[in-house]
Amino acid sequence: MKELDEIKLPDDLLYTRDHEWAKLVGDEVLVGITDYAQDQLGDIVFVEMPEEGDSFGAGEEFGTLESVKAVSELYIPLSGEVVAVNEELDDAPELINKDPYSAWIIKVKPDDPEELEDLLDHDAYLKLLEGE
């Protein structure tokens, strides 16, 4: 298991208390899970993703991750419509373990980009991890 100082946490991402990350690219937001989450889950063997066009409210469950030991819910960091899912993960869910920040899971068109301000920045998320 990784020590806290081995967990990769890019500065330019926003984070949730449920260990998802969000990144604004143009007017869309990429969503994935953090290095901490993938390390805790262990090998990911299946990703159950929503359909393109599905809409969710902030904090709602949008899919599940199957790891070797558990099934974990995925929660969307902000309200919006799913405009793309990462189909590469269908065949290679292990990409999330290899590089959780390249392996985005869904791309969201936010209802209200200002909701991004409710998410944690690098330092706030690190503080959360230090408390776990």
Residue 48 as a binder of other proteins (CB under 8 A): the answer is yes
Q: 14 vs 47, which CB is nearer to other proteins?
A: 47
Residue 45 as a binder of other proteins (CB under 8 A): the answer is yes
Among 5, 27, 51, 91, binds other proteins (CB under 8 A): 91
Among 17, 52, 71, 118, binds other proteins (CB under 8 A): 71
- Pick the stretch among 7-15, 27-35, 90-98, 108-116 that binds other proteins (CB under 8 A): 90-98
Q: Regarding beta strands 80-85 and 106-110, do their DSSP bridges make them parallel or antiparallel, or are they unpaired?
A: antiparallel
Residue 87 as a binder of other proteins (CB under 8 A): the answer is no
Is 90 strand, coil or helix?
helix
Distance (Å, whole) CA 77 – CA 19:
10
Residue 114 DSSP one-character state: G
Whole-number Cα distances in Å, 93 to 15, 38, 47, 87: 21, 11, 6, 10
Residue 42 as a binder of other proteins (CB under 8 A): the answer is yes
